[in-house]
Amino acid sequence: MSDLFPAGRDFMNFGKNFFEDPFDHLLPSTANFKVDIREEVDSYILEAELPGMAKDAIQLKYEDNVLSIGATQETSKDEKDDEGNYIRRERSTKSYSRQFLLKNVKEEDIVANFENGILKVTLPKKATDETTPKQIEIH
């Protein structure tokens, strides 16, 4: 009898399940592309996995201590009969973006490479004048 009514967790996913393409799981997805950031002594190294993306479809920007990565992927599939008439024609466009807060970066020395679906960004650090905190006497 309990099978007749959906569980509360099923209602939470109703919108996602209703509007989701049933064949999406068959295609490679970069909706949440994976990113690794490691801090080295003199720089930050960011590696983002963007399989199937073309280099010219990726936008990279560093502004106000924020590194932004954007990508757009367009796909189309045309099926025609023997006379060249469309039986089916599908097109889709997907956009992805991520932002990362990385402070004390030498903006003019940032280097990015894209090879085999991996975007590697090297962000050199600025030399900081580390000052020791000054104790303030309260009167």
For the chain, which residues make up each domain, given as ranges? 29-124
CATH of domain 29-124: 2.60.40.790
pLDDT average, residue stretch 79-91: 78
Tell me if 87 sits within 8 A of 80, measured CB to CB: yes
Global pTM reads: 0.63
Check pLDDT > 90 for residue 5: no
Question: For 17-35, what is each residue's pLDDT tens digit?
Answer: 544 455 444 444 445 789 9
pLDDT > 70: percent of the chain: 75
**Inter-residue contact 75 to 91 (CB < 8 Å):** yes
- pLDDT of res. 68: 95
pLDDT score recorded for residue 66: 95
How many other CB atoms are found less than 10 A from the CB of residue 57?
Answer: 15
Q: Is residue 17 a contact partner of residue 25, using CB atoms and an 8 Å limit?
A: no
Q: Is the pLDDT of residue 43 over 90?
A: yes
